[in-house]
Amino acid sequence: MTQTDFTHDPAAQSWVKSAQGHSDFPVQNLPLGTFAPPGGKPCGGVAIGDEILDVAGVAEMLDGEARTIALLAGQPTLNDLLGAGNPALRALRHGLFRLLTDASREAAVRPALHPATDCTLHLPARIGDYTDFYSGIHHAVNVGSLFRPDNPLLPNYKYVPIGYHGRASSIRLSGVDVVRPNGQTKAPDADAPAFGPSKRLDYELEMAIWVGRGNALGCPVPIGEAADHIAGISILNDWSARDVQAWEYQPLGPFLAKNFHSTISPWIVTMDALAPYRTAQPARPEGDPAPLPYLLDAADQRHGALGLTMEVLIRTARMRAAGEAPHRLSQGPMTAMYWTIAQLLTHHASNGCNLAPGDLLGTGTLSGPTDSEKGSLLELSAGGKHPIALPNGETRTFLEDGDEIIIRAHADAPGFARIGFGDCRAMICPAP
């Protein structure tokens, strides 16, 4: 069954039709996640509208490879399922679609469906390692201009995908509060640093890339094969203590300013589901160097980018108390990446580094070219110089205790259902 059939198949008029059009999770999406049904243990599921389907619970109703793969979803993490590779994930997704759009099977499937409000969500997989990249070209220019107005990008930026290894142990699911970190900071006019709560806490509008099939140590992943190692995408907020980072980042880069908390949305939208939303990688500006040969693949340049729209919203404590809706701070495209997701993975493994199923790669902050598309408060407030006015009269340069940040993303394409990623949200709590 092709991706086009998923939208135009008359079977979509069946009992799951109510999930179409008004949900992040129409039946075409079938994002993967880990959940615990009422009274049950964590297992793999897919979201459909306002319900979650226990994948292993319908395995015996599936045929061939789809049945075998569905049984892997009975484990408390999706690592083995992701490691089975994209052909297996595709077979599972198509098998589930055929089952869910068969009205004659509704009664048999119903016991494996659970209202999402009754379930507990978990991290989709055991995250062994986490790497954050710096692929947002506009963000890199904006931030670099704050510190180096005449030369915002360092000489290596347009040749090598910049990244650093983060802390997998502090990645938490959407909805878990963020405790404001303490750290060393140094004011420009101070003789010595001080230790205390960060005063310049910020969010970062990112997407997360989930590694599926891994590679052996010492065996790089060619750029033409990199897409086969990417299982899917989620939303990521890699919180940043800007004042801590400014003091500590030289000479080795981010450390305590970044490792205290990262928030991720609970659902993995598979690359198969994202197929209709692939698009060409934006052409590099005239005069920019071409990627080195190990990072350059014609097919990846033709359709290696993703046509996703991301947005970030804020709801302050005062807004919540007044029952006011969150306020959108910015909205921008995932195509703001200077490198494709395949290039990020290939570069990561180019020295022989072994990636494993469930490893997580962050895109880095993604900002568009306009003010309304900036993906962090550092950019929106010009480093704290220009407070942002909120509709209720409050202002922000950086986050205050009680602020809640909500990030959402969706994909649209003509002739296909709009699919979403759910929420990636968290509230700031006072430092200990």
Confidence at residue 286, expressed as pLDDT on a 0 to 100 scale: 95
Locate 276 and state its tokens: 């209709």
Are 111 and 52 in contact, with CB atoms under 8 Å apart?
no
299-to-85, 222, 318 alpha-carbon distances in Å: 20, 13, 50
d(CA 268, CA 129): 17
Does residue 234 contact residue 267 with C-beta atoms inside 8 Å? yes
Concatenating the DSSP letter of every residue in 77-130 gives SSHHHHHT-HHHHHHHHHHHHHHHT-GGGHHHHGGGEEEGGGSEEE-SS----E
d(CA 67, CA 55): 10
pTM for this one? 0.95
The reported pLDDT for the residue numbered 101 is 85
Burial class (CB in 10 A: 0-12, 13-18, 19+), 152: middle
Provide the pLDDT for residue 22.
Answer: 55
Please identify which of the residues 114, 139, 229, 347 carries the catalytic annotation: 139
Cis ω before 251 (30° cut-off from 0): yes
Query: Three-state SS for 301?
Result: helix
Spell 357-377 as b/e; 16+ CB within 10 A means b: bbbbbbbbbbbbeeeebbbbb
User: Going from the N-terminus, what domains does the chain have, and what CATH number goes with each?
Assistant: 3-122 (2.30.30.230), 130-429 (3.90.850.10)
> Catalytic site residue 139?
yes
d(CA 42, CA 34): 6
From first to last of its 432 residues, what are the pLDDT tens digits of the chain?
344 344 444 444 344 444 445 578 888 899 999 999 999 999 999 999 899 999 999 999 999 999 999 999 999 999 999 999 999 999 999 999 999 988 899 899 999 999 999 999 999 999 999 999 999 999 999 999 988 888 899 999 999 999 999 999 999 999 999 999 999 999 999 999 999 999 999 999 999 999 999 999 999 999 999 999 999 999 999 999 999 999 999 999 999 999 999 999 999 999 999 999 999 999 999 999 999 999 999 999 999 999 999 999 999 999 999 999 999 999 999 999 999 999 999 999 999 999 999 999 999 999 999 999 999 999 999 999 999 999 999 999 999 999 999 999 999 988 888 899 999 999 999 999
